[in-house]
Amino acid sequence: MNRSKTFSLNSVVKVGILAAFAYVLMFIQFPIPIAPPFMKVDLADVPALIGGFAMGPWYGVLIQLIKNILNLTKTTTGGVGELSNFIVGAVFVYVSSSIYKNRKTKKTAIFSLALGVVAMTAVATLSNAFIVFPTYAKVMGLDLNAFVGMTAKTNGLVKSYFSLMLLSIAPFNLVKGFVASFVTELVYKRVSPIIKRR
């Protein structure tokens, strides 16, 4: 077997393992009061971030894709949640790892993760406002105001659909992104030598 084929097989195995870890981490969730009850924080972005940092941005995106395809087997959102998770997660990983690959230092890692969180939050807020929530409402037979009502029970700042996006969805993604970034910073240097090994 030649070197390129070995590297290709090696990469496929690593992506598969990281995607499997990401899928398992989707089951470990915790709610935060500012968000709708069906949105929970998890660490499933961490393996994709590690893969993106160690192997390149598109590997991280591929891990996000596989994770969400696997999650379709137990979807309760008709695939809408998985599509949203992929779009938002892919932006997070791609932006962060694209910046990091140009200069692999601790400061760059922190800076790239912070920009990734900001980009993810912006995309998540816009996509949820105009695509995800309206589509999910149609799939579930709900009115958009139902999301406002269920969120307002724990987040008193939510009074309208606009405030739902600005004061619930945006902060939720900021929290989720910074939690994933913090954990990635803690574990990356420990596991990256294993991932980079050929």
pTM score of the predicted model: 0.92
Q: Which long-range contacts (CB under 8 A, 24 or more apart) does 150-153 make?
A: 150/36, 150/37, 151/35, 151/36, 151/37
Distance CA 74, CA 71 (A): 6
pLDDT in tens, the chain (198 residues): 444 444 578 899 999 999 999 999 999 999 999 999 989 999 999 999 999 999 999 999 999 999 999 999 998 888 999 999 999 999 999 999 999 999 999 999 999 999 999 999 999 999 999 999 999 999 889 999 999 999 999 999 999 999 999 999 999 999 999 999 999 999 999 998 888 776
